[in-house]
């Protein structure tokens, strides 16, 4: 008898979809871990809502017109900007601390890929940034903030997308100073930068000139653009001062580039130490 051997061709198999898929389990764990930190939740979501109610909804001037809406809407967008960047700053700083504590190496021995880790961190940052935006916009809706629907949608989208830059801000602080106190300092510095960035109160004169060079100025100005058509609120007269679009855009592009370059340099420096 002649033995017939059937040859099996070795065809390459595609990368399995589970390894490339979004890791929902890790994402849920990240969110649960962040929600356990009640202090951070308050400062990123609760405090901006309180600030809006205090400075935006309560004063007598809340219903005065600003652009296509009113003062309450103008203040609401600013407070949502502060809450969103505080949230992404915390995620970025936490990622830096995890890296230094060896958590990334622990994840490296699991089936999860580097790409999945990045996807989860990005999704987490966007989720925690969306939380204060949604809460503050809901508070504004219930307390008289007024603008066309297109303004609500456009400003919220700009706030959510632009907040991702400040994950780099927190990441750079964590990598540079290698401690949880550094991340707390980064969050504290955002309060000062929010004031200097024309978020908390409208600035004028030399303070407004300084504001245009700070990290939060362009971000907040672009978020308010759908409301004011590029106008800056003059605190002395209540009128809008027209600003060309290139100014806030340049601010955002320059600061995003600077923060990205600093983060890459710090990551390389950390690897050189190891």
What is the extent of the structural domain holding 250? 37-273
Q: Does residue 4 belong to any structural domain of this protein?
A: no
Q: Which tokens sit at 69? A: 């809406």
Can you give the pTM of this predicted structure? 0.85
The tally of domains found in the chain comes to 1
Q: Does residue 48 belong to any structural domain of this protein?
A: yes
**What pLDDT sits at residue 272?**
58
Q: Does residue 25 belong to any structural domain of this protein?
A: no
83: nearest Cα among 191, 161, 4, 174: 191
Q: Does residue 177 belong to any structural domain of this protein?
A: yes
Contacting residues for 219 by C-beta, under 8 A, at least 6 apart: 81, 85, 162, 163, 165, 197, 248, 251, 252
Tens-digit pLDDT string for the chain (274 aa): 444 444 444 444 443 344 557 677 878 887 888 888 777 788 788 899 999 999 999 888 899 999 999 999 999 999 999 999 998 888 877 766 666 666 556 666 666 665 666 677 778 888 889 999 999 999 999 999 999 999 999 999 999 999 988 988 888 887 777 777 777 788 889 999 999 999 998 998 999 999 999 999 999 999 999 999 988 888 888 788 889 999 999 999 999 999 989 888 887 776 555 5
| β-bridge partners, 65 | 70
Q: Does residue 22 belong to any structural domain of this protein?
A: no
Q: Does residue 29 belong to any structural domain of this protein?
A: no
Q: Does residue 19 belong to any structural domain of this protein?
A: no
Q: Does residue 101 belong to any structural domain of this protein?
A: yes
């Amino acid at each position: 008898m002649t033995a017939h051997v059937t040859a099996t061709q070795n065809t390459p198999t595609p990368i399995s979809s589970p390894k490339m898929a979004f890791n929902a389990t890790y994402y849920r764990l990240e969110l649960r871990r962040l929600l356990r930190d009640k202090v951070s939740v308050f400062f990123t979501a609760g405090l901006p809502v309180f600030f809006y109610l205090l400075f935006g909804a309560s004063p007598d001037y809340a219903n005065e017109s600003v652009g296509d809406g009113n003062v309450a809407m103008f203040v609401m967008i600013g407070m949502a900007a502060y809450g969103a960047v505080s949230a992404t700053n915390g995620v970025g700083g936490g990622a830096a601390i995890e890296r230094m504590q060896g958590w990334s190496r622990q994840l490296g021995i699991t089936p999860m890929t580097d790409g999945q880790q990045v996807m989860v961190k990005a999704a987490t940052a966007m989720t925690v940034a969306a939380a204060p935006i949604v809460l503050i916009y809901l508070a504004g809706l219930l307390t008289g903030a007024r603008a066309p629907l297109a303004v609500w949608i456009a400003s919220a989208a700009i706030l959510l997308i632009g907040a991702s830059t400040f994950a780099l801000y927190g990441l750079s602080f964590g990598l540079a100073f290698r401690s949880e106190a550094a991340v707390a300092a980064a969050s504290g510095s955002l309060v000062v930068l929010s004031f200097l960035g024309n978020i908390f109160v409208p600035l004028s004169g030399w303070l407004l000139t300084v504001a245009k060079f700070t990290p939060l100025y362009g971000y907040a100005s672009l978020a308010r653009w759908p409301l004011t058509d590029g106008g800056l609120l003059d605190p002395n007269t209540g009128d809008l001062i027209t600003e060309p679009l290139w100014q806030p855009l340049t601010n955002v592009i320059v600061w995003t580039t600077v923060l990205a370059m600093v983060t890459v340099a710090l990551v390389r420096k950390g690897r050189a130490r190891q």
